[in-house]
Structure formats: C-alpha cells, structure tokens
Amino acid sequence: MSAAARKDPAAVETEVREKIHLEILKRTGAYHANDHILLPSGQHTTEYIEKTLVTTEPSFTEGLGAVIAKHFAQWPIDMVLSTGPGALILSHCVARAHPSRPIVVYGTKGLSGGKRRVSLPVEFQRLIRPSVKILLIEDLVSTGSTLSLLINLVEQLGGIVVGVGCLWRRTSVELDNRPVFSLVSRDFPTYDPDKCPFCKRGVPLNEEFVRRRHARKPSSVQEPKEA
Ligand SMILES: [Zn+2]
C-alpha cells in the first residue's frame, strides 16, 4: 500500500483543496514559491504572497468566498466584518454566498503611537448590538494581531464572534480556540540571513518584493490648484 493510500481521507481532501486554492492564488500572480526571497523584515524565505494581488480576479474571489461561506453555512450569521481592502472584497463575496444573508461592515486598521489599532465607523458600531453574530474575514493572517484586536472590539460592543474565515493562515497562528477556517493553511520557514541555507548554497537572493515596496510609492493625482 502506498503512503498516499494510507493517509486519512479527510487529510487527503484538505491537501487537495489547499493545492487547488494555492493554484488559484498563483494564477492571480500573488503567490510565489520555490525561490530565495528577501522579506521586508530582513529575513529570507522560499515563498511570498503579494497581498494586493490576491483579490484582483473577481471570479476567483467569488469562488473562494463561496468556499468560506459554505464552511460557515451551518451557523446563522448576522454580519460579516473585515478590515483592509482585500479582506473587504473577500468579505462581500462570503456574505453574498452565505445562506443567512449577513450584512457587510468594515473597520480600518492603522498605527497609533507605534501600536496596531483597529477602529470601526460610528455608523457600524450602532449595528453591533448585544448578541449579534459576527463572522470575521481576513485575507492573509500572519501574526493574528489584527484579528485579536477585531475580536476585542466586537466583544466590547456585545457582539458574538462566530468564527474567522481567511484565505491564508500561517499555521502557527492561534486565536483563543475560536473556529478558524482558512483556504490555505501553510507555514514556511524564514531564516536569519547568516543562518539561511540558500545563502550558504549561493542561491541568488530575490530582492524584488522588498525593492518594489520601497521604490514604487503608490501613484496619486491631485486636483489642480484654482487659477
Ligand atoms: Zn538567504
């Protein structure tokens, strides 16, 4: 009997499903693998996700949103909450496909005094009444810190976090045993440059993603000054 045949069927199904989702992310140009990549943190790794590209293909986003909605279909949900543009697009697709027809609201994230911060517009705060059931949606979860803040915010307002759905989660992230469903659950090793095995083997370092972040500022336009 081959090793594959001995595997638990549920584990095989998860593996196949994740491969399909990874392939979809690859098609958007967001997912890069089998490379020797410099991360913004200064560490080296083999895989990278360009977050802004994840939701550029509407039909893919709709399909992935529907998979998340199906997972949470057994629970009634009143509201889907997210932060950031990518997560908001995905949360719309999840809400559209969920049988409870939840509403969609979004917070904003930023930094305040060097600390991460999440806030919710007053109009949306009013909608989180006690025992409102909320599904949190995120695109990429790497440390879970934004989600922890969102959970605190919802609970302070009396809402109930039914679960968390995301496109990609680094497996090391735990969210107080809350049900987390990710389309791809994957961790890849990161190395300090002086301990990186690829550097030791002389594999060229791909600095493209970090360079891109620094060199290319977002383009902008401005209203002309009145004459
Ligand atoms: Zn390296």
| Rounded distance from Cα 31 to ligand 1 centre (Å) | 19
Q: Is residue 119 part of a domain?
A: yes
Residue 173 backbone dihedrals phi, psi, to 5 degrees: -80, 125
CA of 36 to the centre of ligand 1 (A): 6
Task: Report if residue 153 sits inside a domain.
Answer: yes
- Whether 219 maps to a domain, the answer reads no
Least confident segment among 19-33, 130-144, 165-179: 165-179
Spatial CA neighbour of 150 closest among 102, 100, 91, 200: 91
Q: How many domains does the structure of the chain reveal?
A: 1
User: Ligand 1: distance of its center to the CA of 98 in Å?
Assistant: 43
Quote the ligand 1 centre to 38 CA distance (angstroms). 7
Q: Please report the pLDDT score of residue 220 as a whole number.
A: 79
The predicted-structure confidence for 188-205, as pLDDT tens digits, reads as follows: 889 999 999 999 999 999
Instruction: Output b/e per residue, 87-107; b: 16+ Cβ within 10 A.
Output: bbbbbbbbbebbebebebbbb
| Contacts for 50 with CB less than 8 Å, ≥ 6 apart | 29, 30, 32, 209
CATH number for position 183: 3.40.50.2020
Range of the domain at 75: 9-204
Q: 199 C-alpha to center of ligand 1: Å?
A: 4
pLDDT digits (tens, 9 = 90+) for 20-74: 888 888 899 999 999 999 988 899 999 988 888 999 999 999 999 999 999 999 9
> CA 162, 149, 151 angle in degrees (round to 5)?
15
Answer yes or no: is 227 within a domain. no
- Please tell me the distance between residue 206's alpha carbon and the centre of ligand 1 in angstroms: 9
| pTM (two decimals) | 0.85
Distance 55 CA to ligand 1 centre (A): 29
63 contact partners, CB below 8 Å, separation of at least 6: 24
56 CA from centroid of ligand 1 (Å): 30
